[in-house]
Structure 1
């Protein structure tokens, strides 16, 4: 009987008083692929980091046994850990920008990893870097190896990280949320790449993801975690097709699906505009350019759309399609170069002073609540900002109003004095929504509001927005690269590509019978929960690429 490549027995990880992993045990055979799924805080990433001894020196208390490719990670000295990392096991992190040094070329960074584990010349190491960059699909790899990370797109940077992981031909790749920040077409490319590399090199894969669809596309077995413990494990088709545990069923029930419309209790906006009612917001021929001369880039090009009160307009497209710039123009955070009417009044050309009466009614929920909340101020004070900006000075009324808003979005009013770092990602997004509601808006633009959240937290935030829209009649513009989420929340949808809307209409019509080839391409790239269907689509994409 062969020894498993990875053996984890009774792994427990404590960060101070917090137990992140609690008695976890599992194995992974050579060449196999295991997906580890669960909500944020379930212990997925902490467990994955333990495989390479990355908790060493952090203050975390790690007990139990972890063996990887014959190395006892807990007992290994620093030299043994260096020999393990990169040569026998390599890690691909979620954020390639934080994993790549901005001052060095991508090729030099890969070459350095290769030289750490192999006695070769700089020239040979650089040649190896070009070889693996070419292998992961970087076009013109010899030239692009001389580029720095900021010169790569998000998908290309992730490919570069995978190339770095492959440089020393490890027996195991640990991929921690490698596609979370990527749009669906690039995500499909990265997942196809990992699948092909496994098949060709025999490398084992441990994939950490909160996206159950990504696991279905990529692994043989799946391990479901909750509160640091293993809840369920088995072949991916069995666990996703007939889950035995209530938590797994709950997790799957929260996954938005591109092939089904909104549930009856979801966002209740009108399918059509109320008779005789004009649009709340109307944009005609919006255009936005950045840069000058030969470096000028057109981010939004001749975009026209409308949003009615109580309606949700979804906007989808790949990274760089102009979605965020369009959203910022709709609330006049960026100046449009065409007509923008709100409530029947032209606001596109108004100067800032004349815009002030409209600022409260046009609000935006941003993708990253951490970046939009001041870490040095309590969340209560951040939520109170719009009230003070509107002239409210009575501190008792301000505190009562903020407490009510925090409770309205499902948070304890007693946490008024707490700071952003004391809240989870989903809770911080709720705080951002409470701050927006303080302004009593009529229209909210939500820019990727759930893209970094696990599926159950996504469902909670979406349900909150639905409830608020139902009660307040707010118009919503919901921007996302996740087509399944957009279908779940939207009445109408607009598909953007290279700054232009290529298709728009009722959400069921666009999803059910897309007319534009680009829309069809996006829909074909959305992960499916059926592993057999995923395999068929992967084969079809492979044939298309070879054609």
Structure 2
């Protein structure tokens, strides 16, 4: 293959158009990327950012999509390339890291064998050499004891480790370009920070060009030199990441940034980044405008489970109380305590945020509060019906049943048999969450992610609960849809006096919606209190670690934090 001439762009896209049937996904997009540079492509779902990234590797070929315009990657004209040239490009000169590592890795083969196979396809050589290369790249991406771990299968890795394995696979053939499509969407903030630090180090050490596709503006700020904002298949704004995020020129970019949840308040009209967590003056959590319910007085801090807690005064309306909750899985030596001695209370009209990394026990706790899991120890007292809104509305809605019938399930379970009354009530609920009542007979696949989550909320409301437990309800949504769903929950809370338990790994979202917050680690609550106090002056080192890992919209602050994490890693390894 012809090498890229000195000074020539690594990627050059001119007048790119991509259509799927009558839908134009990308409409006249042009951009370039120099060797060693990093470009972030940011936009909401449906903006065309992933479709554009796939086109760089010719992944639309054979799918029925219509692609026109010029795409050159590492000196190759992608649209004119033969199938053999495209196979050499993919994984050889350019490699892609996808959003979901579980669906990208074969569950039946070891991680090392899968990486070695990629190496042999592109580089040839012996199995021994390919195996050695697999171990080398696994070590390079920070997987400990790489030789032993290379013999593991994907299900034996955590989410962050699987994403590292995908990056290692991408590095196997020393590509010039790395395309990362939402590489941190499902990861905890600390693991996300590790992956972003890794991508930054790879650029610095290997001279890789990076194209980062993300709906998370904070992730882009942490990782790229320039940012390209897309909407409806077109470029809205492009430029150096610092100026674009600090002083956006286009209304859409301003709206996108205003929807990003922050750890501390932002002055009215500003889209700049918030102060560092725990800094002086970091008080107040409702930069997005979430009002505290007038029915909820300011909590008082008293000793609680695992740290400072809040307990309602006598006579206040406690909706749910958990005392000494524990949940273990397995038996004997294999027993694992997912939740260990947690006590908490939630009042009418109040939101308790529960944060922690994967494995902290927060989802198990939420399921015990609702009654989906029986505790191994302790007990839960509920003063009324409790419902749950799940993380993934696709898997929680039956694809073979209309959304109207799904919303009607609690009504039928309560004994309602009159179809006319059921349809009328469901229509009210759909309208209440901002959906068209006439879409009763629509099926889940006909709705967007945000609309499906609204269906889940409508279904929860059907039982007229006093408390709704929301388990990662916005983790898969882009920032503007996140803002719409959290605003809906706040509105319902104000009007209906609902209590909410908001379980999430996104600390910025939790601050936006919560009155109090409980931080979980290894099944216990390590810190609990008013959200302003916990975020403004965290007492537990783990809480401080979580807050320091939240992406910053200020690239300069992101660089300072990255250097601090690197120094901490060196000290820990010494």
TM interval, shorter chain, is: over 0.9
Among 329, 344, 352, the residue aligned to 1:313:
352
Matched, 1:299 2:323: no
CA distance in structure 2 between the partners assigned to 1:28 and 1:14 by the alignment: 24
Among 412, 430, 433, the residue aligned to 1:409:
433
CA distance in structure 2 between the partners assigned to 1:62 and 1:295 by the alignment: 54
Among 183, 191, 198, the residue aligned to 1:193:
198
SS at match of 2:195: helix
Matched, 1:327 2:366: yes
Cα offset for 1:278?
Answer: 4.4
Matched, 1:86 2:84: no
Cα-to-partner distance string for 1:253-297 (whole Å, 9 max, x where unaligned)? 000001231147415332334762142111111000111222211
Contact 2:326–2:378 (Cα < 8 Å) also in 1 = no
Contact 1:492–1:507 (Cα < 8 Å) also in 2 = yes
Aligned to 1:126: 131
Matched, 1:530 2:558: no
Cα-to-partner distance string for 1:404-425 (whole Å, 9 max, x where unaligned)? 1111111111211111111111
Among 99, 111, 125, the residue aligned to 2:104:
99
Matched, 1:421 2:445: yes
Aligned to 2:396: 372
Structure 2 segments unaligned to the other structure (5+ residues): 1-5, 266-284, 300-311
CA distance in structure 2 between the partners assigned to 1:112 and 1:487 by the alignment: 45
CA distance in structure 1 between the partners assigned to 2:12 and 2:558 by the alignment: 29
Contact 1:224–1:232 (Cα < 8 Å) also in 2 = yes
Aligned to 1:135: 140
Among 127, 150, 155, the residue aligned to 1:145:
150
| 326-335 vs 267-276, greater mean Cα deviation | 267-276
Aligned to 1:543: 567
SS at match of 1:377: coil
CA distance in structure 1 between the partners assigned to 2:226 and 2:314 by the alignment: 53
Cα-to-partner distance string for 1:58-80 (whole Å, 9 max, x where unaligned)? 11111111111011111111100
| 259-268 vs 411-420, greater mean Cα deviation | 259-268
Cα offset for 1:503?
Answer: 0.4
CA distance in structure 1 between the partners assigned to 2:28 and 2:171 by the alignment: 31
| 492-501 vs 266-275, greater mean Cα deviation | 266-275
Contact 1:20–1:41 (Cα < 8 Å) also in 2 = yes
CA distance in structure 2 between the partners assigned to 1:419 and 1:330 by the alignment: 30
CA distance in structure 2 between the partners assigned to 1:2 and 1:295 by the alignment: 59
Cα offset for 1:224?
Answer: 0.2
Contact 1:267–1:463 (Cα < 8 Å) also in 2 = no
Q: 1:264 to 1:175 in 2, by over 3 A?
A: closer
Cα offset for 1:233?
Answer: 0.2
Q: 1:151 to 1:343 in 2, by over 3 A?
A: closer
Aligned to 1:40: 45
Matched, 1:501 2:525: yes
CA distance in structure 1 between the partners assigned to 2:53 and 2:495 by the alignment: 43
SS at match of 2:7: coil
- TM-score relative to the length of structure 1: 0.96
| 271-280 vs 493-502, greater mean Cα deviation | 271-280
CA distance in structure 2 between the partners assigned to 1:401 and 1:373 by the alignment: 19
Contact 2:118–2:172 (Cα < 8 Å) also in 1 = yes
| 11-20 vs 518-527, greater mean Cα deviation | 11-20
Aligned to 1:4: 9
Q: CA RMSD in A?
A: 1.2
Aligned to 2:475: 451
Aligned to 1:241: 246
Aligned to 1:521: 545
Cα offset for 1:434?
Answer: 0.6
Q: 1:343 to 1:328 in 2, by over 3 A?
A: closer
CA distance in structure 1 between the partners assigned to 2:251 and 2:401 by the alignment: 39
SS at match of 2:318: coil
Contact 1:267–1:469 (Cα < 8 Å) also in 2 = no
Cα-to-partner distance string for 1:368-404 (whole Å, 9 max, x where unaligned)? 0000000011111111111111111111111111111
Contact 1:281–1:340 (Cα < 8 Å) also in 2 = no
Contact 2:317–2:348 (Cα < 8 Å) also in 1 = no
Contact 1:314–1:480 (Cα < 8 Å) also in 2 = yes
